[in-house]
Amino acid sequence: MGTKWSVNSLVSGQTAASLPAGTENKAHLTFAKDGIVTGNLGCNRFTSTAKISGDSITFGRLASTRKLCEGPVMDVERGLVEVLQG
């Protein structure tokens, strides 16, 4: 299966903030041994590649479903996509 990480906060600049109420336990990433990462961005499912080197992870291009969610769930998703894209 792989290693699953649950997203419980997002970082903006030097500050980490808890996820908004109602979005907890939605966003997660699972890293497989073959370099594939899959998960949920809060609203949409995604897949990508991940290369782990030392203490950093480099993600490849994200492929995701294209559902539109409302309010805080989409805010979390936008923040997470921003982090994953660099």
pTM of the predicted structure, to 2 decimals: 0.81
pLDDT tens column, 18-42: 888 888 889 999 999 999 999 999 9
* Contact predicate 46/66, CB 8 Å: no
Residues 6+ apart with CB under 8 A from 13: none
Query: What confidence category does residue 1 fall into, taking pLDDT thresholds of 50, 70 and 90?
Result: low
Question: Could you give the CA distance from residue 54 to residue 13 in angstroms, rounded to a whole number?
Answer: 22
Question: Could you give the CA distance from residue 26 to residue 6 in angstroms, rounded to a whole number?
Answer: 8
Q: What is the pLDDT of residue 46?
A: 95
Q: In this structure, what is the dihedral angle of CA atoms 6, 78, 43, 27, given to the nearest 10 degrees? A: 0
Q: What is the pLDDT of residue 86?
A: 66
